Chains A and B, each alone.
Chain A
Amino acid sequence: MATDSSHIEIRSLYKVFGDDPDSVMPYVREGMDKQELLEAHGHVLALRDIDLAVETGSIQVVMGLSGCGKSTLVRHVNRLIEPTEGSVEVDGQDVRTLDRTALQDLRRHKVSMVFQHFALFPHRTVLENVRYGLQMQGVARPECDERAQRWIDRVALTGYEGSYPHELSGGMQQRVGLARALATEAEILLMDEAFSALDPLIRADMQTLLLELQRELHRTILFVTHDLDEAITIGDRIAILRDGVVVQNGDSQEIVLQPSDDYISNFTRNINRGRVIQVGSIMEPAEDGAPAAEPDPDACVPSDMVLEEALSLVVDSSGEEAPVVDMDGRTVGAISVERMVHALAGDTGNGEDAEATGETADDTAAAQEEPAKQKPSKD
């Protein structure tokens, strides 16, 4: 599991909040759940046995409802929160072993952070905020200002250098937060519900901005959100957290098409499958060795095209079925309209409850309660 390319490696991480977390760890290890631990011993189990490896240059989303421990989890990476047990390695170095100065160095040079409520320094101007991390690194003032200015330009805030945070809108404030975090050139970026406090339109803008920047910067990003659409838009991989446990960790296709349990399928039932599922995930794979017929380039569907676009393309061109090609233009399979429609209806693998998926339009809050009700009947 531990590959050379993983930048952050979290192993068997436990976090218990309370007066004496170590004293209740035996119960936790025996499998006592969050509710029982709170009632019997007055301690809050925030994270249980988390294993998570984040690859260099990728965006790992940590998703879950409020109180599931996702914000607690990211704060272990720069040790804003001390783990109760387990290890958190950054570049192969366990952050638990770092002394005060080494930890400060880690926070100054290796890991930076963007916060939900921006957490800008209200008594400092935009420029002063953005250069803060550089000042902490000990970079000389003229260079600080020049580098900070570059990042201010990158997040399209040119002209606002002298403004104070309270003079800016929420979206602009978070651009400052992003610029401040990027300016330190830290390879790891922690984003704790960074866009959650923003209006939907502004949020979409910020997501686009982040993805644009990431295409050039290739930072390792740990992105926390409670919004599945955001997770799917941004994440290379998505880890879904529930009551401090990772329920599933996979890419967006896996989460949507092979939800590991009812909890996750409840989560995913309200998303627009047509905009998430890619043709490559549901196509009929081409048989090995079959002679690749020279396909008509106009009728081909790229494997990473989402169903919504693919459907209209297939219907417009040939009508029934179309070959699927990969990035190099090789035929890798075929996709039929029928297959796509089934996938849209949530009819993949466990097709029997396809109708149930269609009719409810509750938000994710309902998804939280549903599995709890279903569980007893299953066990």
Chain B
Amino acid sequence: MIPWLQEFPTLDEAALRALKKAFDSGYRTFSRTYGDSIEGFFDPLLYFLIWFERLLLAAPWWLVILVVAAVCYVAGRSRRLAVGVAVALFLIGYLGMWEDTMRTLAIIFVSTLIAIAIGIPVGIWMSRSDRVQAFITPILDIMQTMPIFVYLIPVVMLFGLGKIPGLIAVVIYAVPPVIRLTNLGIRLVDKEVLEAADAFGTDTWRRLFDIQMPLALPNIMAGVNQTIMMALSMVVIASMIGVKGLGQPVLQAVTNQYFALGLFNGAAVVALAIVFDRITQSYGRRIQSGRQN
């Protein structure tokens, strides 16, 4: 009998080990050679994150609550929503989680900004060409299905523990929805409206910024909303590589079986999620309400 019909033909152990080793050492050499310069590249981001975190922590608590409530009101024009948000934030502080919440708020805010800054241009690029779409879609699928821990490894190898690897991990995990929905939103813009724009001699840029982007905005906002939610869900995992915030007490609670600690901090994450969700959704609804067909 032919052996590979009975037993699965595997690479022999030595060769397999050598392959993995080669892979690892290759990446290690890469990270040793370029690690510093790549880290340097991300420094401004780190400074911005630290600055924003300090700002949130240094500001008087009532001012932060006031500003967040005001943003809510401006986005959604709903007094009830603003009051609800203020109460939720106050409760978080009252239960002693103010500092961690501010740290989490800072990293979520910054990583969302980065995700939008990367995601919208990529989404626009994707919407303009079917070939680009066919190329990027599988990459996004991989980013979303690959277990998060797997891409934590190379990031940590490159940057060590800390804020920047956490930020990068969060962004990688959270950026696909905003890319997808920007692409989708632009592709869904009514063809007749675009034809009308063309018929009046609109050039490519104005077509994009005056017609396509505003009409895709509700979808883009839905993408931003999704991105924020995914970023929040990364908080606990990011805390494993040293990101401070609400994730760390949760991690601590898991390892030590502190149920109450886990519950409170988990609830604080949920409260933050609700705040972000309501702000983006009500803003999305408001821009949409002006223009149903």
Report which A residues bind B (CB closer than 8 A): 78, 80, 103-109, 111-113, 115, 117, 119-123, 132-133, 136-137, 164-166, 180, 184, 190
Contact = CB atoms under 8 A, between A and B. Distances in A.
Interface in B194-233: 195-203, 206, 211, 214-215
B196 A108 contact: no
Interface string B275-293: 0000000000000001111
12 contacts: A108-B201, A111-B199, A117-B192, A119-B192, A119-B193, A119-B196, A122-B291, A122-B293, A123-B291, A133-B201, A136-B201, A137-B201
A115 B197 CA distance: 11
Contacts of B206: 136
Nearest to B204: A100
A120 B200 CA distance: 12
A161 to B, nearest CB: 15
A113 B215 contact: no
A316 to B, nearest CB: 51
Interface in B64-109: none
A113 B199 contact: yes
A111 B196 CA distance: 12
Nearest to B200: A133
Contact of B214 (A109, A117, A123): A123
B190 interface: yes
A165 B193 CA distance: 12
B200 A112 contact: yes
Contact of A106 (B190, B195, B201, B202): B201
Contacts, number: 67
A117 B190 CA distance: 11
Given A117-B192, A119-B190, A122-B193, A104 B201 contact: yes
Given A115-B195, A123-B214, A166 B293 contact: yes
Give the one of A109, A120, A136, A190 with max B CB within 10 A: A136
A107 B199 CA distance: 6
Contact of B215 (A80, A106, A123, A190): A123
A117 B79 CA distance: 39
Nearest to B192: A119
B211 A121 contact: yes
A133 B193 CA distance: 14
Given A137-B201, A165-B291, A166-B293, 12 more contacts: A78-B199, A104-B203, A107-B198, A109-B201, A117-B192, A119-B195, A121-B193, A123-B291, A136-B202, A165-B293, A166-B292, A180-B200
A136 B199 CA distance: 11
Contacts of A112: 199-200
Contact of A115 (B192, B201, B290): B192
Contacts of B193: 119-122
Interface residues of B, number: 20
Contacts of B195: 80, 115, 119
A127 B290 CA distance: 15
Given A119-B193, A119-B196, A123-B215, A164 B203 contact: no
Contacts of A119: 190, 192-193, 195-196
Q: Interface SS of chain B: helix, strand, loop or mixed?
A: helix
A137 B200 CA distance: 9
A184 B192 CA distance: 19
A71 to B, nearest CB: 11
A123 B200 CA distance: 17
Nearest to A104: B201
A300 to B, nearest CB: 47
Contacts of A122: 190, 193, 215, 291-293
A78 B193 CA distance: 16
Contacts of B199: 78, 80, 107, 111-113, 115, 190
Contacts of B190: 119, 122
A19 to B, nearest CB: 15
A172 to B, nearest CB: 15
A108 B192 contact: no
A123 B206 CA distance: 14
A132 B207 CA distance: 12
Contacts of A136: 200-202, 206
A105 B201 contact: yes
A154 B206 CA distance: 28
Contact of A107 (B201, B211, B215): B201
B200 A108 contact: yes
A178 to B, nearest CB: 13
Contacts of A164: 290-291
Contacts of A106: 201
A275 B206 CA distance: 48
A270 B142 CA distance: 63
Give the one of A105, A109, A133, A184 with max B CB within 10 A: A133
Contacts of A108: 200-201
B200 A184 contact: yes
A323 B292 CA distance: 59
A123 B286 CA distance: 12
A180 B200 CA distance: 9
A115 B206 CA distance: 21
A80 B192 contact: no
A132 B196 CA distance: 10
A108 B197 CA distance: 10
Give the one of B195, B199, B290, B291 with max A CB within 10 A: B199
Contacts of B202: 104, 136
B18 to A, nearest CB: 50
Nearest to B287: A123
A166 B201 CA distance: 24
Interface string B38-51: 00000000000000
Interface in B221-270: none
Contacts of B198: 80, 107
Contacts of A105: 201
Nearest to B194: A119
A117 B202 CA distance: 19
Contacts of B203: 104
